[in-house]
Amino acid sequence: MPDESLKDLADYIYEKLGSHIIKHEFIHNELVLHAKPDGILPVLQFLRDDRECEFTTLIDLLGVDYPERPERFEVVYTLLSMRQNNRARVKIAIEDEQIVPSATSLFSAALWFEREVWDMYGVLFSDNPDLRRILTDYGFEGHPQRKDFPLTGYVELRYDDEQKRVVYEPVKLTQDFRRFDFVSPWEGMTDMQLPGDEKGAIPPHGWKSTKDIPHLEEQTNDNEETEEEVEANASD
């Protein structure tokens, strides 16, 4: 549960910004504010400048995709108050292709963060002075962290010796996706005693006889030498 000082801070913020705040909650003892998209800048400015808040550092700005929601995307701002030793997150929910006011006028760090959200999710930010791709190539198609983006992507690239440059081509899979089971079959046999297991501890459920498994019984019999064979080998 959050301490009383954090609850008092939440009540204070809601009292001052009630027209821009939809609701607030506490997650992992941190304050989370749900704001209206058109009120994000007044909220961020208040949290930065007010003496009771002083959230002067923008730690992160990220996007989340919920395709099943009418307001598909969430933009999340993570703020830090070093003086108050508090963290707060501000969330806004937006529709696809809805434009979000840029926070670059309040936090210079928002420039690259907004570029990343645009690159990965396609969320547009108005008044961002340099809104272009930052993680993918400039000719990249789509936004790879959207839930409807194919795992294989749309194109693949390779270096062409004839053209002496990197070229893009449609994705061609040489084989279908397969599921691999990396568990050893011996590790899965926990209810029977195999050769060498007598050196270990007996499990609570006990052992099954290898005679219940025909191929193991044959293998065991093949590995057993008769007394005559042992004496013959020793004499050699």
Mean pLDDT: which of 67-81, 156-170, 204-218 is highest? Answer: 67-81
* Residue % of the chain over a pLDDT of 70: 73
- CA–CA distance, 58 with 87 (Å, rounded to integer): 10
Q: How confident is the model at residue 7 (pLDDT cuts 50, 70, 90)?
A: very high
pLDDT at 204: 67
Kindly state the tokens that stand for 192.
């029977």
* Residue % of the chain over a pLDDT of 90: 58
Dihedral-angle region of residue 175 (phi above 0 means left; psi in -120 to 50 means alpha; beta otherwise)? beta
- CA–CA distance, 226 with 230 (Å, rounded to integer): 6
- Phi then psi dihedrals of residue 143, to 5 deg: -135, 110
Task: Indicate where the chain has its CATH 3.30.460.80 domain(s).
Answer: 4-135
pLDDT digits (tens, 9 = 90+) for 95-111: 999 999 999 999 999 99
What angle (nearest 5°) sits at the alpha carbon of residue 191, between those of residues 190 and 195? 75
Amino acid at 41: L
Q: Which helix (H) or strand (E) holds 116?
A: helix 110-121
In sequence order, the 6+-apart residues with CB closer than 8 A to the CB of 31 are: 2, 6, 9, 10, 13, 24, 86, 87, 88, 89
4-135 has CATH 3.30.1460.30 classification: no
Q: What is the Cα Rg of the chain in Å?
A: 31
Q: Which helix (H) or strand (E) holds 43?
A: helix 40-49
DSSP string, 161-178: TTTTEEEEEE---SS---
pLDDT at 175: 64
What angle (nearest 5°) sits at the alpha carbon of residue 110, between those of residues 106 and 111? 110
Overall pTM surpassing 0.75 (yes/no): no
What integer is the mean pLDDT of 29-41?
Answer: 95
- CA–CA distance, 115 with 123 (Å, rounded to integer): 9
pLDDT at 153: 83
pLDDT at 235: 60
pLDDT digits (tens, 9 = 90+) for 109-132: 999 999 999 999 999 999 999 999
